[in-house]
Amino acid sequence: MSRILIKNAHILTMDDNRTEIQNGYVVIENDLITKVSDGNPSGFFDKTIDAEGNIVMPGLSNTHTHLGMTLLRGYADDMVLSDWLQKEIWPAEAELTAEDVYWGSMLGCLEMIRSGTTAFCDMYFFMDETAKAVEKAGIRGCLSYGMIELFDEERGNSELIKGERLVKEWQGKANGRITTMYGPHAPNTCSKEFIARAKKAAERDGVGVHIHVLETEDELNTMKKNYGVCSVHHLDSVNFWNTKGDDLTAGVDVLAAHCVWMSDGDIKLFAEKGVTVSHNPISNMKLSSGAAPIQKMLDAGVNVALGTDGCASNNNLNMFEEMKTAALLQKLVTTDPEALPAKAVVEMATRNGAKVIDKKTGALKAGNKADLIVVDTKKANATPIFDAYSHLVYSAAGSDVKTMIVDGKILMEDYLVLSMNENEVIEKSKACAIGLAKRAKDKKEANG
Ligand SMILES: N[C@@H](CCSC[C@H]1O[C@@H](n2cnc3c(=O)[nH]cnc32)[C@H](O)[C@@H]1O)C(=O)O
Ligand SMILES: [Zn+2]
């Protein structure tokens, strides 16, 4: 058995009581946390990490990514979502190879490790490659194959087969670090019949579903025009949002990304059904999609988590930036400085997201999995700290994350990434990105 001690820590447990411990310690045995306490630890440890008074907290959960897109960082900016996808991103994605997605995913994992994210929810293609990258990088990934049916039944059938294959092959792999979901892309790219089939498959297989919903006003208007109702009610008519399950099926997690154009009725329905919302404020601001009514959702009891979205619409995977932006955006649009306070943002970025990834993560307590980070507070931007939550949201940087442990394994110690060769990942992914951009440009020119 391997026993790790982290001592002299300022611990934010993020447990149900949000217990904060000054000068505490955490004991890890194999992949689990066995003790979180103040006072003096006793016993033998294979490894002792002196946190030197730094903040020790659960790792961050990035609940909406497209990791393979990390290669498209900065590929096309300053465009409307529909043009951005149709004219730039989808043509470039048509040129992606499995090797590209592997190195793009490794690059994404590296960036997440360096900025405190221990777990993420992804929706993309060539997902075997992303799964291999997760296996190697050592973090936790909840992976879905993004299924785009385009209202074509045959295409839908083949997309569903690919989605199923990912679930069958990877669910629970890497000591449970890899979990899976079904990923019907969005209500305006897939029919409700197709989305309902994906939900049924998820219930049958005991995994969740991950979808984009009401990202743009254009989606809301199109749905109202075509079906007379918004996306939320359109999918409610096929019971898509139910997380509890009926007599025949197990309950499953439902993860809805964006949710910018939600009405009060939609919010109430999400709260009743137990849907988890992934709020992606930077992507929403960059694509001018709008500001999601997050304070209203929290007031209504919706489980709201945070995500960065893909690297082509952010353009990084830094959850510290996402936390700060989430807080500032709510204050701006509500004209209420009390909206989305720092502690609520840290909850969104840790325990709320963890609920859909692994219920034994997201809080530091005995019996939970050992997924945690050490945030360096011996920094100018961390001096002084009157309130740890305020520090994390308003003044900390992703690059302040010093040490990371996932599933009881040290992935980064004292700023040194241990689970991969950092230079190799940067060089290989850069070469892939250059090749990809060239192929996309050649294709564009050939097509006139
Ligand atoms: N099975 C599909 C791939 C779907 S992956 C998920 C898709 O979502 C796209 N995507 C990325 N960001 C967004 C967003 O903000 N809204 C909608 N789609 C997005 C992404 O580029 C990718 O094409 C195929 O073979 O083409
Ligand atoms: Zn997305």
pLDDT at 251: 87
Mutate to test the pocket of ligand 1, among 84, 185, 280 (most ligand atoms within 8 A of CB): 185
The residue whose two tokens read 């002792």 is 48
- Residue 78: CB atoms within 10 A of its CB come to 8
Assess: ipTM above 0.90.
yes
Task: Give the closest residue (by CA) to ligand 1 atom 4.
Answer: 146
Tell me the CA–centroid distance for residue 394 and ligand 1, in Å.
Answer: 31
Residue 238 per-residue DSSP state: T
Instruction: Yes or no: say if 261 and 219 are a contact pair by the CB < 8 Å rule.
Output: yes
pLDDT at 246: 63
Query: Which bound ligand lies closest to the C-alpha atom of 69?
Result: 1
Q: Is 258 annotated as a binding residue?
A: no
Whether this prediction's pTM lies above 0.95 is answered by: yes
Instruction: Yes or no: say if 315 and 74 are a contact pair by the CB < 8 Å rule.
Output: yes
The residue whose two tokens read 């919010």 is 267
Distance CA 66, CA 310 (A): 5
DSSP string, 159-201: HHHHHHHHHHHHTTTTTTTEEEEEEE--TTTS-HHHHHHHHHH
Task: Give the closest residue (by CA) to ligand 1 atom 25.
Answer: 125
Q: Is 322 annotated as a binding residue?
A: no
Tens digit of pLDDT for each residue in 414-433?
A: 999 999 999 999 999 999 99
pLDDT at 269: 98
Q: Is 10 annotated as a binding residue?
A: no
Bond from prior residue into 315 cis (ω within 30 degrees of 0): yes
The pLDDT tens digits along the chain (448 residues) read 899 999 999 999 999 999 999 999 999 999 999 999 998 899 999 999 999 999 999 999 999 999 999 999 999 999 988 999 999 999 999 999 999 999 999 999 999 999 999 999 999 999 999 999 999 999 999 999 999 999 999 999 999 999 999 999 999 999 999 999 999 999 999 999 999 999 999 999 999 999 999 999 999 999 999 999 999 999 999 999 999 876 555 689 999 999 999 999 999 999 999 999 999 999 999 999 999 999 999 999 999 999 999 999 999 999 999 999 999 999 999 999 999 999 999 999 999 999 999 999 999 999 999 999 999 999 999 999 999 999 999 999 999 999 999 999 999 999 999 999 999 999 999 999 999 999 999 998 998 7
Distance CA 158, CA 162 (A): 6
Mutate to test the pocket of ligand 1, among 90, 93, 130, 194 (most ligand atoms within 8 A of CB): 93
Query: Which bound ligand lies closest to the C-alpha atom of 125?
Result: 1
Query: Which bound ligand lies closest to the C-alpha atom of 158?
Result: 1
pLDDT at 91: 94
Contacts 24+ apart (CB under 8 A), 428-433: 428/103, 428/106, 429/70, 429/71, 429/103, 429/104, 429/106, 429/107, 432/71, 432/99, 432/100, 432/103, 432/104, 433/71, 433/72, 433/73, 433/100, 433/104
DSSP string, 314-353: TS---HHHHHHHHHHHHHHHHT-TTSS-HHHHHHIIIIIH
Distance CA 358, CA 360 (A): 5
Query: Could you tell me the maximum CA-CA distance found in the chain, to the nearest angstrom?
Result: 71
DSSP bridge pairs for 148:
none
The residue whose two tokens read 């840290």 is 346
Tell me the CA–centroid distance for residue 124 and ligand 1, in Å.
Answer: 7
Ligand 1 atom closest to residue 69's alpha carbon, by position in its atom list: 21
- Name the phi and psi angles at 94, rounded to 5: -65, -20
The torsion of the CA quartet 417, 423, 425, 429, rounded to 10 degrees, works out to 140
Contacts of 152 (CB under 8 A, 6+ apart): none
Distance CA 234, CA 211 (A): 14
Query: Which residues keep their CB under 5 angstroms from ion ligand 2?
Result: 309
Q: Is 66 annotated as a binding residue?
A: yes
Task: Give the closest residue (by CA) to ligand 1 atom 22.
Answer: 124
Question: What's the mean per-residue pLDDT of the chain?
Answer: 97
Q: Is 212 annotated as a binding residue?
A: yes
Q: Is 64 annotated as a binding residue?
A: yes
Pocket of ligand 1 (CB under 6 A): 66, 69, 85, 89, 93, 123-125, 146-148, 159, 185-186, 212, 215, 283, 309-310, 313
Tell me the CA–centroid distance for residue 69 and ligand 1, in Å.
Answer: 9
